[in-house]
Structure 1
Amino acid sequence: MTDPAAMRRAPGNPAWFCGGDEHRFDFPKDPAGTCYVAEKPLGALIEVYFRTAGYGLDEDEMHDERRFATMAVLQDTVVVNLNCSSNYGVRGVSPQLLSELGPKYPLNWEFARKEYREGMEGIRWISTRDPRRQHVNIAIFSKWSGPDSGKVFDVVHKDIPLWLMYEAAEYFGVPLKRSSTYFPLP
C-alpha cells in the first residue's frame, strides 16, 4: 500500500492545487492554485472516466492506477454557488460562463480570478461532464499551487471500492471488466 503522506506530496494526488491554465477555474500566470473535488464518489469517477469509458471500465486499471480519496475541509470555506438561480446575473454568473467548453476557459479563468481577489474561497457547479446533470463539483482556491500537505484538507486514501465501479459502469451504460486476478491462467 502506498504511504498516504508520500501521496499527499506527489503531483496528481487528490490534494493538489493546479496552478496552470488547463482546467475550468485555474489561475493562469498566477501563483494561486485550484483543487477540484466532487461532492459524491460517483461524481469524482464521472470527472475522471466519463471521457474515456466508452468501451467499459477496467477493474485492474482502476486498482493499479487510481486511488479514491475522502477529503474533509479543515475550516469553513465560502464558495460561489453557480447552481443557485438567484446568482444568475450577479457577480458575472451567466449562461456563457456555465456552458464554456475547454480546453481553454477564458471566461471561467477570469471569473475565478475575480472571485478569488474578492475573498471567495471556491466555486460550486454542476459537472459539465455528467450527461444527467446530477453531480456537483467544487473548486477550492489556495494562495499557492502544488501539494496541500494538510493545509486545507484532511485526506484519507483508499482503493476504489468495487460497488462504486459497478455504480459507475451502470451510470455510464458500459460493462465493468472484472480483474484478471479472479481467474486462473493456464
Structure 2
Amino acid sequence: MSDALHQDAVRTLQDWKSADPGQDQLRLDYLDHLAGHPDGLMRACLPAHITASAVVVDPAAGRVLLTLHPKVGRWLQMGGHCEPGDDTLAGAALREATEESGIAGLSLLTGVDGRPVPVKLDRHQVRCAGKDRPENTHLDVQYVAVAPPGAQELISEESLDLRWFGFDGLPELSDGSVRTLVGIARALV
C-alpha cells in the first residue's frame, strides 16, 4: 500500500463531516483504525480494513445500477478492496465502479473544492477471506458515481447479475444500507 493512499484516507475522513452522530462516530472509528494500522486499507489487515465503493446513478433516467454480489447474494453498489496501485480512496471507488459496471466515463460527485467527497460510511461483517475463514469487518467509504448519458453496463465476472433499477423500485434483495445510500444519491443528483 502506498503512503499516499493512507494519507489520502486520513485527509478524506478528517475533512468529511456528517450531521448524523452515528456517521460522525464511524468517521472517528475509521480514523482510529488508520492511526493504529499503517496497512489499514489493505485486505490483509485483519480483523478490519477500509474499503471503497460507489453507487452508480443515471440522474436523467432516475435509475441506479446495482450488482448481484456472488458472495453476499444481495444487490449492492459497486465496490471493494483498495489495491496497491490506488493513490486515493476516491480513485479506488471509481476504479471498482468502472470495473464492475463496465461503464467508461463515470464521474464521482465532488465537494465545493472540486475533490470527490464521500456521502456515507458503512461498517459491515463479511467473509472476504473465504467461506472457511472467520468474518472480518469492512469499513466502507461510499461515493456517488454519475454515469454518462446513454451509458451501457457490461457485467463482469465479479457479478451474478448487473441491472438498472428505478430510484423507487429497488429490488427486495437489497438491504437498508443500500437503500439509504441510494436515497442520499438521489437527493444529491
Same fold (TM over 0.5): no
TM-score, scaled to structure 2: 0.24
TM-score, scaled to structure 1: 0.24
Q: Which has the higher contact order (CA 8 A, sep 6+)?
A: 1
